[in-house]
Amino acid sequence: QVQLVESGGGLVKPGGSLRLSCAASGFTFSDYWMTWIRQAPGKGLEWVSYISSRDSTIYYADSMKGRFTISRDNAKNSLSLQMNNLRAEDTGVYYCARGNWNHAFDIWGQGTMVTVSS
Amino acid sequence: EIVLTQSPATLSLSPGERATLSCRASQSISNNLAWYQQKPGQAPRLLIYADSNRATGIPARFSGSGSGTDFTLTISSLEPEDFAVYYCQHRSSWPRTWTFGQGTKVEIK
């Protein structure tokens, strides 16, 4: 079945780094744009980053620019998010999601928790 | 930057009642609004895309409507499993960003 599975979350100190991964299965990964979305504890959804299907176009939310790097490996059906210089406000559940042709997110992973705390 | 404002913040209804959720954009948008449902401890699920199209497997009691700046998600008759938080979402062309509303919680009265 169509599935996204995130991994790599954990506890990290402010200023530290973490790399999240998302493994895709059940669909042709290279046909779809992908994104990361996060949710702070008890809060709403916040878009983080976008990558096009062939890796040629990338966008970030303003607060992540210069600190986060999105990438994908179509041969391995894998999406990644490298997060550097982490802040307490980066704490939350990070979801990878598949984009559809109507600019919506039609498949979501279960999420991975990132906690930034000293 | 487009801002999406959802109302009400909380909607208290009984099973079988009709739910009407609003999403208002700070400027006109079209064909680019989606709705999601999120239950506690779960990932969001796509309900509606392109303003009014139901996603795969979504029951017919869910419908989306609207245009310009005012959009509505209607649940015609609430089932017990529909009590959840609902988010609207829009993709802006420039700058290329995806924005969510702050959410509406539909709770059991």
pLDDT in tens, A35-79: 999 999 999 999 999 999 987 899 999 999 999 999 999 999 999
| Per-residue pLDDT tens digits for A84-99 | 999 999 999 999 999 9
pLDDT category at B31 given cuts 50, 70, 90 is: confident
pLDDT in tens, B42-97: 999 999 999 999 999 999 999 999 999 999 999 999 999 999 999 999 998 888 89
> For A61-64, which contacts have Cβ atoms below 8 Å and span 24 or more sequence positions?
A61/B97
Q: Is B100 on the interface with A (CB under 8 A)?
A: yes
B30–A contact, CB cutoff 8 A = no
According to DSSP, the residues that pair with B55 across neighbouring strands are: none
Interface of B with A in 31-70 (CB under 8 A): 31-32, 34, 36, 38, 42-46, 49-50, 53, 55-56
Record: contact B89-A105, CB cut-off 8 A: yes
Answer whether A93's CB lies under 8 Å from A20's CB.
no
pLDDT reported for residue A101? 86
CA count, 13 A, side-chain hemisphere, B56: 6
For residue A100, give the nearest of B44, B49, B95 by CB distance. Answer: B49
Mean pLDDT over B2-28 rounds to 97
d(CA B82, CA B79): 5
- Whether residue A44 and residue B87 make contact (CB cut-off 8 A), yes or no, is yes
Residue given tokens 């210069």 in the structure block: A66
Residue A42, both tokens: 């008890």
Pairing of strands A92-99, A112-116: antiparallel
Task: Specify the pLDDT at position B94.
Answer: 82
Q: Which of A103, A106, A110, A112 to mutate to test the interface with B (most CBs of B within 10 A)?
A: A103
